[in-house]
Structure 1
Amino acid sequence: MNFDGILFFPVTPFSRNGAIDHDLLAQHVERGVAAGAGGVFPACGTGEYHALSAGEAASVVRTATATVSGRVPVIAGTGGTLGHAIEVATAAADAGADGLLVLPPYLVGGTQDGLVSYVEQIAAASELPVIVYHRGAAQYSVESMRRLARNPRVVGFKDGTGDVGAAQLIVRAVAEEGREDFAFFNGLLTAELTQAAYRGLGIPLYSSAAFAMIPEVANAYYRAYVEGDDGRRLALLDGFYRPLVTLRDETPGFGVSLIKAGLRLQGLAVGSVRAPLVDPTAEQEARLAAILEAGRALL
């Protein structure tokens, strides 16, 4: 599975009555693809997978695949309780998704054998290739990733822990299994902050929540990153991403909440986040507006 460009994780818009606004979702996805997204990941972390029913997640994926219409890969989120994950995975395949991002299981933590089995059972539920998300209750050992790399249905690894030593060993273990087709992603919050280091590990791809909110700035950073223009990259890091991360870190869940707030500030009425996440205060939104303006000024 090849990705050429920033990985786009769209939000899930909600109307005032709490229902998914599919017209607005299609508009949001279309804007992202038109802005140059290399792949679309609907109903994942930024899309509030944790707060969606299986039916809602399936409907989000249907809208995304219909909008993308084959222009770039669509990778649907799945995970949580095993039964829910299998139901979502099957529905994503029926909706025309190109692959699955397997988020951690819900509440419980298992052994490494249990985590491998969790991924394998989800992978067996459809014909879709799967990418494992290494974070939270799903932290895979080097040996577990070696085992999963022997399954041709498992095609990628997304790191959300920040343990660069473990990530480096996993990259090497997968290479030793002969998997030249394996994709590696930096999945840390506001990944632009750490991506220069991840590239040195052999992890060239990253997910960009900022792209969902302000693609012109995210694209400018991505171009500087790809072209090795460190002066430009660091100017964007200092002028936009650092203050964004400072604001993000004030409140748990703001990795999602700020993206939705930023879209609302720019006229896209994507609604609030669902519980347990919370929206920014008016003062925080004002600071976010200033950060977005500063980012545009750097262009």
Structure 2
Amino acid sequence: MFKGSIVALVTPMTENGDVDYSSLQDLVEFHIKSGTDAIVAVGTTGESATLPMEEHIHVVRKTVEYAAGRIKVISGSGANSTDEAIELSQASAEVGADGLLSVVPYYNKPQQRGMIAHFEKVADACELPLLLYNVPGRTVADMLPETTAVLARHPNIVGIKDATGDLERLEALKRVLPGDFILLSGDDPSGCEFMLRGGHGVISVTANVVPSMMAQLCKAALSGSREQAEQIDTPLQALHHALFIEPNPVMPKWALYRMGLIPSPVLRLPMVEPELDSQNTIEAVLHDIGVIS
């Protein structure tokens, strides 16, 4: 259903901070031509935290429109309010999304039982396939494998994006989850090994910048070709890391700007453009891998 190279797409913006829909359309075309398997619209990398709900859903709507059935679109529909997550999920279904990515509620620090109650209520309210998203580095709360296993019993909950970067966590998930439950990495540096150990793909920040290489990497890893996958991934490790030297999506937007794929690196406050040292670092990496001259 959802596997391979799935881009966590940036939301391009104009100099005054409005969503740049023309550039968004160009990015969708870029990914379709580059072999990306699916798009996550308005996830963390798409600045979901600073897009009001109406605008959030409009970006999903336009992404679906631009994709025109040629690539699956997964809507970032998580929230730390269960009612808001339900509203986002239902609205995403109405505008044609193929699936949902719903993050563990942030700031609230819910108990494991609270996570179960939250996600079951969201999944009950919308028939789209739902991917759980565990990213304790941002949410503080960590959804344990045993909790994921309970949620996997729900027919609408089909997989998880695990952004812990812990390969032992993958092994723990595999022990308690059914074989058809989708396991996606949310950590680019360990994504290759995650797939070689039985994961089904990566929801990738790096794919914003080098979608063709990430698509090739995922195909090699998912086919079990360790040597080929590592040959692709090894030179990408510097990029994986450089894209996170400042909080996401600061660096991928700067990289796309320097590559000429978006006309502006503008982010919504409180995020701002990267420091000069960070700009120099990412540009050196982009030069080394041959995407800027």
Q: Determine if the TM-score, normalized by the shorter chain, exceeds 0.5.
A: yes
Are 1:70 and 2:60 counterparts?
no
> Is the 1:32–1:215 Cα contact (8 Å) retained in structure 2?
yes
1:209 maps to amino acid: V
1:107 corresponds in structure 2 to 107
> Is the 2:36–2:215 Cα contact (8 Å) retained in structure 1?
no
User: How far apart, in 2, do the equivalents of 1:273 and 1:222 lie?
Assistant: 29
Point out where structure 2 has 5 or more consecutive residues left out of the alignment.
Answer: none
Counterpart among 201, 209, 218 of residue 213 in structure 1: 209
1:120 corresponds in structure 2 to 120
1:156 is paired with a residue whose SS is strand
2:173 corresponds in structure 1 to 170
1:7 is paired with a residue whose SS is strand
Are 1:139 and 2:142 counterparts?
yes
Counterpart among 261, 283, 291 of residue 285 in structure 2: 291
> 1:246–1:39: structure 2 CA closer, same or farther, 3 Å change rule?
closer
User: How far apart, in 2, do the equivalents of 1:248 and 1:24 lie?
Assistant: 20
State the Cα RMSD in Å. Answer: 2.2
1:228-249 per-position Cα deviation (integer Å, ceiling 9, x unaligned)? 665555455443422x345345
1:46 is paired with a residue whose SS is coil
> Is the 1:39–1:75 Cα contact (8 Å) retained in structure 2?
yes
- Of 16-25 and 275-284, more deviation after overlay is shown by 275-284
> 1:237–1:59: structure 2 CA closer, same or farther, 3 Å change rule?
same
1:213-239 per-position Cα deviation (integer Å, ceiling 9, x unaligned)? 232443454455456665555455443
2:72 maps to amino acid: P
User: How far apart, in 1, do the equivalents of 2:241 and 2:159 lie?
Assistant: 30
> 1:247–1:146: structure 2 CA closer, same or farther, 3 Å change rule?
closer
> Is the 2:244–2:251 Cα contact (8 Å) retained in structure 1?
no
User: How far apart, in 1, do the equivalents of 2:172 and 2:230 lie?
Assistant: 28
Cα offset, 1:148, TM superposition: 0.8
Cα offset, 1:276, TM superposition: 3.0
1:147-191 per-position Cα deviation (integer Å, ceiling 9, x unaligned)? 11111010001111133333322222112xxxx432110112xx1
> Is the 2:196–2:221 Cα contact (8 Å) retained in structure 1?
no
- Of 116-125 and 165-174, more deviation after overlay is shown by 165-174
> Is the 1:80–1:106 Cα contact (8 Å) retained in structure 2?
yes
1:151 corresponds in structure 2 to 154
> 1:199–1:266: structure 2 CA closer, same or farther, 3 Å change rule?
closer
> Is the 1:81–1:106 Cα contact (8 Å) retained in structure 2?
yes
User: How far apart, in 2, do the equivalents of 1:29 and 1:276 lie?
Assistant: 26
1:51-76 per-position Cα deviation (integer Å, ceiling 9, x unaligned)? 21111110111011111111222110
Are 1:50 and 2:49 counterparts?
yes
Point out where structure 1 has 5 or more consecutive residues left out of the alignment.
Answer: none
* 1:33-48 equivalence runs, <5 A: 33-48=32-47
Cα offset, 1:42, TM superposition: 0.4
> Is the 1:236–1:295 Cα contact (8 Å) retained in structure 2?
no
> Is the 2:192–2:217 Cα contact (8 Å) retained in structure 1?
no
Higher relative contact order (CA 8 A, sep 6+): 2
1:57 maps to amino acid: H
Counterpart among 267, 271, 280 of residue 265 in structure 2: 271
> 1:246–1:209: structure 2 CA closer, same or farther, 3 Å change rule?
closer
Give aligned pairs, total: 286
> Is the 1:221–1:233 Cα contact (8 Å) retained in structure 2?
yes
- Of 126-135 and 228-237, more deviation after overlay is shown by 228-237
> Is the 2:5–2:38 Cα contact (8 Å) retained in structure 1?
yes
User: How far apart, in 2, do the equivalents of 1:93 and 1:247 lie?
Assistant: 35
User: How far apart, in 1, do the equivalents of 2:63 and 2:183 lie?
Assistant: 23
2:21 corresponds in structure 1 to 22
Identity of aligned residues (%): 28
- Of 75-84 and 39-48, more deviation after overlay is shown by 75-84
